[in-house]
């Protein structure tokens, strides 16, 4: 029997209309739609493709054992996640070995901080694989702000907020323009760093860019306990003239 194909599809930042034509074509052609989620109801990735799924496709939720939180700092966390990716890779492999094409969807872009890369590393050598890029929140957030991210010779620095505070400060101090990702519980650390560097008044918080519930606020006005993992902080360029 011919094995199925694995489609790693970047489906954009959340707006169902921001999926590419290529990703949409492969999504509709797939026998199985697999989606990582931290919620039993399917979460944001499934919501982003919900209008495009037909009733004949198998839906395969890949339910994270935990989401970002205190457990992410525990020594057992890396092994817990490796076990999760191994187990769910086998679930996907079972469908592929049965000759079914599997679309594994990923918010944003599969290879830009995308969870898809961990399944790709375990499956791509065994099965035919097609990876389709997607619109990242790094692109969507400045559009939501209605401000350019960079221009001319600006250098854009993209930073995960999970960096140690001293490293975050060092990299931000050298940046022309910056995007800070992976917020949520890391927000207080990032805010302190921006304040020390005198960047607080330039920094803009964009939550759930292109999704329902989108919020755009000066970082100074954001309550730390009201931040969302699906958010970024943008330190944009000066207004081009």
Q: What is the mean pLDDT of residues 183-203?
A: 95
C-alpha–C-alpha distance, residues 17 and 11, integer Å:
9
- pLDDT of res. 69: 58
pLDDT band at residue 127 under the 50/70/90 scheme: very high
DSSP 227: -
pLDDT in tens, 66-103: 765 556 667 788 899 999 999 999 999 999 999 999 99
Output the DSSP codes for 78-90. HHHHHHHHHHHHH
Structure tokens, 48: 């982003």
Of 232, 234, 230, residue with least CA distance to 48: 230
Q: What is the mean pLDDT of the chain?
A: 93
pLDDT in tens, 13-54: 999 999 999 999 999 999 999 999 987 667 788 999 999 999
What the chain holds in terms of domains, given with CATH numbers, is 6-132 (3.40.1010.10), 137-235 (3.30.950.10)
Q: What is the mean pLDDT of residues 103-112?
A: 97
pLDDT in tens, 28-37: 999 999 999 9
Element (H, E) at 10: strand 6-10
Contacts with 171 (C-beta within 8 Å, 6 or more apart), sequence order: 157, 159, 163, 178
Q: What is the mean pLDDT of residues 8-12?
A: 97
Structure tokens, 108: 């944003």
* Secondary structure in 3-state letters for 102-144: EEEEECECCCCCCCHHHHHHHHCCCCCEEEECCCCHHHHHHHH
Residue 221 backbone dihedrals phi, psi, to 5 degrees = -100, 5
pLDDT band at residue 162 under the 50/70/90 scheme: very high
pTM (predicted TM-score): 0.92
Contacts with 59 (C-beta within 8 Å, 6 or more apart), sequence order: 32, 33, 35, 42, 46, 53
Q: Are 155 and 179 in contact (CB under 8 A)?
A: no
């Amino acid at each position: 029997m011919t094995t199925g194909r694995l489609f790693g599809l970047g489906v954009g930042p959340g707006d169902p209309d921001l999926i590419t034509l290529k990703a949409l074509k492969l999504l509709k052609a797939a026998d199985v739609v697999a989606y990582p989620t931290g919620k039993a109801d399917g979460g944001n990735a499934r919501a982003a493709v919900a209008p495009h799924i037909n009733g004949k496709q198998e839906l395969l939720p890949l339910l994270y054992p935990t989401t970002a939180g205190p457990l992410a700092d525990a020594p057992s966390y890396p092994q817990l996640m490796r076990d999760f990716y191994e187990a769910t890779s086998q679930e996907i492999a079972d469908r592929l070995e049965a000759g079914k094409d599997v679309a594994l969807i990923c918010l944003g872009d599969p290879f830009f901080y995308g969870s898809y890369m961990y399944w790709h590393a375990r499956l791509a050598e065994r099965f035919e694989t097609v990876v389709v890029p997607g619109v990242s929140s790094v692109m969507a957030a400045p559009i939501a702000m209605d401000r350019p991210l960079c221009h001319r010779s600006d250098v854009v620095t993209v930073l995960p907020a999970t960096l140690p505070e001293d490293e975050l400060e060092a990299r931000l101090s050298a940046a022309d323009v910056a995007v800070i990702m992976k917020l949520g519980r890391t927000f207080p650390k990032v805010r302190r760093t921006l304040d020390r560097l005198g960047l607080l008044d330039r920094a803009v918080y964009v939550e759930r860019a292109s999704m329902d519930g989108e919020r755009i606020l000066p970082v100074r006005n954001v309550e730390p306990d009201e931040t969302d993992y699906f958010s970024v902080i943008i330190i944009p360029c000066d207004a081009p003239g």
